[in-house]
Structure 1
Amino acid sequence: MPQTHSTNPATTADRLGIEFQTVFGLPPVEFVHLAADLGCRYIGLALTGTPDNPHHYPPYSLREDPALRHRTRTALTRNDISVSLGEGFVIRAGRDIRDSATDLDIFAELGCTRLATTSMDTDHQRTVDQIGQLTDMAATRDMQVVVEFAPSLTIPDLPAALSIITAVARPDCRLLIDTLHFIRAGHHPADLAALDPTLIAYLQLSDHTLHQQAATYREDTLNRLPPSDGELPLSAILDTTPTDTVIGLEIPMLTRARNGETIHDTTRYCLTAARTLLEHGALRQPGDPGARCDRRSSAQDSRTGKD
């Protein structure tokens, strides 16, 4: 039976999604069923699996398998689940984003409403031009583009991301805030509070230590923590985030997966922690210290695909 959800955008059930990195290569139809079983409304999706696959799921390609696309679309519709984020649009030197037009068509076919992009190209102007081109291509398919930053990327921090969004100068090019990357880039919740809230179109939620623990940044990001299990100021970040923003749980826990913990158990624990965190914030009164700001966003609504 299809899952039923509240239409109030401020409810936790309506805001939470599961990102594809969290499920380590789980094939898309099974991914949709996992989200439905856990009462989650959104998923972030890539067209192929991740290189880290500790559960040894069979490889898949939504790009090369039309039958899989049909089954995925059917599962999404039957379970009332939306693809809130399409991944895989990294700007790289020597590659033209226009060659990704077919990938955009596939995400549009699956009902995706926004695409994530970032850059590994050190040429700032080329990054601006390529993200602008991607935004224009997405707009013709009723999708927006969100720009992600991380210390390991050539868009390393919030000012760098904002400079690109300003240069692109399209209303459908906005910010993706990953809580781990945001803090590790040296930022504070007050930096988000100072922004025009309409710039924030998507939030990826995870917890961790304040400082890197592993030998490499990537290794560290593959072993994140559920909300409130780490040191990040998540409540303060959520307080500055528009209340209609989709919150994708990007919480890969590679070591736990290698030790035999199932994706179902991991994701259920993370969702429970996120719901508790959000509900705690919702209980605070407007006059309480740290109360959530009533900030409205004109971010694209994932149910209708319209502003």
Structure 2
Amino acid sequence: MNRTIGLAHLSALHLSPPELVDAAAAAGFTSVGVRVHPATRGETQYPMAAGSFMSVQTIERLAVTGLVVRDVEVFTLDGNRGHKEWEPVLEASAALGASVLNVIGGDPDRARLTDSLAALVEDARRYGIRPSIEPISYQPLDSIPDAGMLVGQTGCGIMLDALHFVRAGGRIAELIALPAGAVTVIQLCDGPAETPALPIPHRMPLAQDVNGSARQIESRAKRLAPGEGVFPLREILAALPDAPVSVEAPDVRAVETGGTATHLKHLHTAAETLIG
């Protein structure tokens, strides 16, 4: 498959969505993922409601650059959120033309999580959007087999983050065993064999919270570009030959020292080399 390469917003979360589109296009990416809803408590939110000035700006930049929005993030199912909370997120996503909504399984009650996800999938169908659960190594839903069960039970998709797949002890055989078409996006990055001990950055984009957790610091502030670590990225791509690719490799320090354009071009070149 001749894969196109997208850019996840987390790779440059300090950029507003319209700025992200321009920067991604300049770096050579063909699609973007956009954050329209906060991932962490207290996080600053971009005003991306459907019809808002920033949403319209983003749509205009997409038209000029020829890029598309494949996925939007992020909605956490925590047991307390329902239709009233996710409907505006679906509307914002649809306005951008997104086909995938990134969902985090933050509810430890698996039966309730399943019911909530099924209801979200049903509501999202009207917008042409497929909610896709992302197994995250420090969330209650952290494994590919559990995500695969939810695909069968709810009709959701899976967003596969290479970092969390490795940190949760994922195996390539688990990917091969998934139903065809289950993985809607592969988020590419790289890293060392073990979670590194990293200092908390003095400034996190959008004031994201890392809670002093080594895994959260790595996830949100310091990942390696594809091909620069030991993750089995080629094996992941081979197991999922039809899944679109998005590069999710934030590096807060690299952006501060070398600039955003250099960082994003480096990520695109690294992904292109890996895939090629």
Q: TM-score w.r.t. structure 2 length?
A: 0.87
Distance 1:272 1:230 in 2: 15
How far does residue 158 in structure 1 lie from its aligned partner after superposition?
Answer: 1.1
Residue 92 of structure 1 pairs with residue 78 of structure 2: yes
Distance 1:196 1:94 in 2: 29
Q: How many residues get paired?
A: 257
Which residue does the alignment assign to 1:187? Answer: 170
| Distance of aligned partners of 1:155 and 1:117 in 2 relative to their CA distance in 1, 3 Å threshold | same
Structure showing greater relative contact order (alpha-carbon pairs closer than 8 Å, 6 or more residues apart): 2
State the one-letter code of the partner of 2:165.
Answer: F
Which residue does the alignment assign to 1:278? Answer: 275
Paired residues of 1:91 and 1:97 also in contact (CA < 8 A): no
How far does residue 275 in structure 1 lie from its aligned partner after superposition?
Answer: 0.2
Distance 1:136 1:148 in 2: 18
| Distance of aligned partners of 1:125 and 1:110 in 2 relative to their CA distance in 1, 3 Å threshold | same
Instruction: Select the structure of larger CA radius of gyration.
Output: 1
Q: Deviations over 1:13-65 (max 9, x none)?
A: xx2111011002201111111111122111000126787xxxxxx97411287
Q: Deviations over 1:176-233 (max 9, x none)?
A: 1111111111122232223333222210000001211125210121211001110111
Which residue does the alignment assign to 2:203? Answer: none
Paired residues of 2:196 and 2:218 also in contact (CA < 8 A): yes
Which residue does the alignment assign to 2:145? Answer: 159
Q: Runs of 5+ in structure 1 lacking a partner? A: 1-9, 52-57, 280-307
Q: Secondary structure at the match of 2:181?
A: helix
Residue 251 of structure 1 pairs with residue 249 of structure 2: yes
Residue 18 of structure 1 pairs with residue 15 of structure 2: no
Residue 38 of structure 1 pairs with residue 16 of structure 2: no
Paired residues of 1:134 and 1:145 also in contact (CA < 8 A): yes
Q: Secondary structure at the match of 2:23?
A: helix
Q: Runs of 5+ in structure 2 lacking a partner? A: 198-212
Which residue does the alignment assign to 2:206? Answer: none
Q: TM-score w.r.t. structure 1 length?
A: 0.78
Which residue does the alignment assign to 2:205? Answer: none
User: What's the Cα RMSD here?
Assistant: 2.0
Which residue does the alignment assign to 2:230? Answer: 231
Q: Deviations over 1:241-265 (max 9, x none)?
A: 123x22110101123234x221111
How far does residue 97 in structure 1 lie from its aligned partner after superposition?
Answer: 4.1
| Distance of aligned partners of 1:210 and 1:39 in 2 relative to their CA distance in 1, 3 Å threshold | same
